[in-house]
Amino acid sequence: MPLVSIIIPCFNDAVYIEQSVQSALDQTYENKEIIVVDDGSNQKTKAVLKRLEPKIDLFITQENKGTSAARNTGIAAASGDFILVLDSDDYFDPEFCEKAIAVFQKDSNIKMVTCYARWFWNNKDFHIFKPRGGVLVNVLPNNFAMGSSMIKKIDWKNVGGYDEEMISGFEDWEFYIRLHKNGGNTHVIPEVLFHYRKKKKSRNTMANDSKYELQEYIFLKHADLYKENFELFTKKLLNKIKTEEREKIKNRNRIDFRLGSAILRPFRFIKSIFKININY
């Protein structure tokens, strides 16, 4: 049974870090170690981490450097051949590590193992996300796996770890491109074994606010790969744009959208008249 190192970077997550750590402790796969990296958290979070410290194998503190740097710090200190990255506000079901290791042992060409995820706002509101996985050409247009997934430490080392310049988000996507650059594929376990917490203010929210700048960074950094796969990348990108456009049209045709538009129409007219009078 190879050793699995579970890396949990934490920044100001006093409310959720305990559930995240407990999900690592509850993994049915026995040969594991748990490493928590405090990435410059506030005192409230530090107090919770201090209470959790006896339960974990290694506790590392550093000044705030961002998620990529915190992950790299934890992975560099890990003893396991396999790495499971877990964000401090999310959690896995107990069987994930056991099932992921079984996948790795069946196929040496596997670079990463992920699974279906429950994206939730609270206990009632959620939806199921099904990552696509695949090979390099599948990850070039957009990310195809969850940020919390299992990889091999040797592969992390060979590609140079996470890009620590990417502090605003999308670092998972960029890392996965390098991870698959020289072959291999990502396997998706078709079961909901991961729980991703959707918050009003999160790194994903911030990433989406600057997504075009982040996409430009990734496209230019890996320009050689996009050129080599130009035709396939272009088709996938256009299909993605078409899908988004269809979704917009679908939303516009919804009755609540039409009703809201009808209610606001008189106010827009008054506003336009008022604007004309001011300009006059």
The answer to whether the CB of 83 falls within 8 A of the CB of 147 is: no
Task: With respect to residue 156, please indicate whether it lies within any of the assigned structural domains.
Answer: yes
Both 193 and 104 in a single domain?
yes
Q: DSSP states of 73-109 as a string?
A: HHHHH---SEEEE--TT-EE-TTHHHHHHHHHHH-TT
Task: With respect to residue 18, please indicate whether it lies within any of the assigned structural domains.
Answer: yes
Both 255 and 168 in a single domain?
no
Task: With respect to residue 252, please indicate whether it lies within any of the assigned structural domains.
Answer: yes
Residue position matching structure tokens 């790969």: 225
Q: What is the pLDDT of residues 168-218, one digit of tens each?
A: 999 999 999 999 999 999 999 999 999 999 866 655 666 667 889 999 999
The answer to whether the CB of 36 falls within 8 A of the CB of 52 is: yes
Supply the CATH number for residue 29's domain. 3.90.550.10
**How many domains is the chain partitioned into structurally?**
2
Both 115 and 245 in a single domain?
no
Determine if residue 161 is left, alpha or beta; phi over 0 gives left, psi from -120 to 50 gives alpha, anything else beta: left
CA distance linking residue 10 with residue 12, whole number of Å: 7
Task: With respect to residue 225, please indicate whether it lies within any of the assigned structural domains.
Answer: no
Both 15 and 93 in a single domain?
yes
Q: How confident is the model at residue 268, as a pLDDT?
A: 64
What pTM, to 2 d.p., does this model score?
0.84
The answer to whether the CB of 97 falls within 8 A of the CB of 150 is: yes
Q: Please report, in tens digits, the pLDDT of each residue of the chain (280 residues total).
A: 999 999 999 999 999 999 999 999 999 999 999 999 999 999 999 999 999 999 999 999 999 999 999 999 999 999 999 999 999 999 999 999 999 999 999 999 999 999 999 999 877 788 999 999 999 999 999 999 999 999 999 999 999 999 999 999 999 999 999 999 999 999 999 999 999 998 666 556 666 678 899 999 999 999 999 999 998 888 878 888 888 888 888 777 766 656 666 676 676 656 666 555 555 4
Both 83 and 180 in a single domain?
yes
Task: With respect to residue 129, please indicate whether it lies within any of the assigned structural domains.
Answer: yes
Both 26 and 129 in a single domain?
yes
The answer to whether the CB of 188 falls within 8 A of the CB of 145 is: yes
Both 16 and 135 in a single domain?
yes
Q: What backbone torsions phi and psi does residue 273 show, to the nearest 5 degrees?
A: -65, -45
Percent of the chain beyond pLDDT 90? Answer: 73
Q: From 193, 211, 229, give the residue that closes a domain.
A: 211
- End-to-end CA distance of the chain, in Å? 79
Both 158 and 20 in a single domain?
yes
Task: With respect to residue 248, please indicate whether it lies within any of the assigned structural domains.
Answer: yes
193: helix, strand or coil: strand
Both 131 and 205 in a single domain?
yes
Q: How confident is the model at residue 205, as a pLDDT?
A: 60
Q: From 195, 211, 227, give the residue that closes a domain.
A: 211
Both 46 and 102 in a single domain?
yes
Domain of residue 274: give its range. Answer: 237-279
Q: From 211, 228, 255, give the residue that closes a domain.
A: 211
> What single DSSP character describes residue 29?
-
Task: With respect to residue 222, please indicate whether it lies within any of the assigned structural domains.
Answer: no
Provide the residue type at 252 as one letter.
R
In this structure, what token pair is assigned to residue 135?
Answer: 């090979």
Both 202 and 246 in a single domain?
no
Q: How confident is the model at residue 271, as a pLDDT?
A: 62
Both 123 and 259 in a single domain?
no
Task: With respect to residue 221, please indicate whether it lies within any of the assigned structural domains.
Answer: no
